[in-house]
């Protein structure tokens, strides 16, 4: 079972689900009510410890996205969620960890909202700096490993970690160029992400108790 807070608003839940799909693990998804304090804190970025998504599998319970990634990589080695090459695998872990721990300005000023499209959204300097750093990470990986994914021909944990960033850039109409634009297009066309977005568009507002993210931010 994968417990999530919201398909539409939760970038961490999206990451957890993409990792499960990448591993080939079929999961039952349970949406936790935003009345739950942990769920609401996660959606509003007000918690230093994110407890959702939470994966329950064979007696294990994991609520950290990187822990979920490492666990699934160990449980399902045939899925090859990490690059086989030692250097690429180390870089995959480093770039995934940077996404996991950083980019606070991007998170707070460009919250995930898969239903929205906001052209002309003002980008503050902090968010611009985060986007520039992410673009550098992507460009370095795409040049070194040839694309179309960050570490070559196969999706990896890093691609799952950065997929919500691609969604944010789409929502707020942030334009990238060259191989970065191609990477975003590849990510947005990926069937698992398309399935999640379709489900997010169908998500009832009652499921998130009419949570007003704009007011909170």
Structural contact between residues 124 and 105, judged by C-beta atoms closer than 8 angstroms: yes
pLDDT band at 215 (very low <50, low <70, confident <90, very high): very low
Full-model pTM:
0.89
Model pLDDT, residue 216: 35
Model pLDDT, residue 43: 58
34 pLDDT exceeds 80? no
Looking at the structure of the chain, the number of domains it has is 2
Same domain, residue pair 154 and 106 = yes
More confident residue, 213 or 76: 76
158 pLDDT exceeds 80? yes
Same domain, residue pair 167 and 96 = yes
Model pLDDT, residue 5: 86
d(CA 215, CA 122): 17
Same domain, residue pair 96 and 9 = no
Q: Listing from the earlier edge strand, what are the strands of the sheet with 60-62?
A: 29-31, 2-4, 54-57, 60-62
Q: Which domain holds residue 53?
A: 2-78+202-216
pLDDT band at 204 (very low <50, low <70, confident <90, very high): confident
Cα dihedral value 153, 52, 11, 49, nearest 10:
-100
Same domain, residue pair 136 and 156 = yes
pLDDT, mean over the chain: 89
d(CA 164, CA 155): 15
Percent of the chain with pLDDT over 70: 86
Compute the average pLDDT of residues 177-204.
96
d(CA 85, CA 41): 38
pLDDT band at 206 (very low <50, low <70, confident <90, very high): very low
Which pair of structure tokens corresponds to residue 43?
A: 């959606």
d(CA 138, CA 149): 9
Residue ranges of E strands in 88-192: none
d(CA 2, CA 20): 9
Model pLDDT, residue 119: 93
């Amino acid at each position: 079972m994968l417990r999530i807070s919201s398909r539409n608003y939760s970038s961490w839940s999206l990451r957890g689900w993409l990792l499960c799909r990448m591993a080939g693990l079929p999961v039952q998804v349970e949406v936790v009510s935003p009345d739950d304090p942990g769920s609401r804190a996660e959606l509003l970025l007000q918690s230093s410890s994110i407890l959702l998504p939470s994966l329950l599998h064979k007696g294990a319970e994991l609520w950290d996205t990187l822990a979920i990634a490492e666990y699934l990589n160990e449980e399902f080695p045939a899925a090859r969620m990490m690059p086989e090459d030692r250097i690429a695998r180390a870089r995959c872990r480093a770039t995934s960890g940077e996404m996991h721990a950083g980019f606070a300005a991007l998170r707070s000023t460009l919250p995930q909202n898969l239903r929205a499209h906001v052209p002309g959204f003002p980008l503050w300097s902090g968010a611009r700096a985060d986007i520039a750093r992410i673009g550098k990470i992507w460009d370095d990986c795409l040049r070194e490993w040839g694309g179309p994914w960050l570490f070559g021909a196969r999706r990896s944990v890093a691609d799952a970690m950065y997929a919500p960033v691609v969604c944010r850039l789409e929502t707020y109409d942030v334009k990238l160029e060259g191989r970065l634009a191609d990477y975003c297009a590849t990510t947005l066309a990926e069937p698992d992400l398309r399935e999640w977005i379709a489900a997010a568009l169908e998500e009832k507002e009652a499921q998130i108790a009419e949570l007003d993210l704009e007011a909170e931010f």
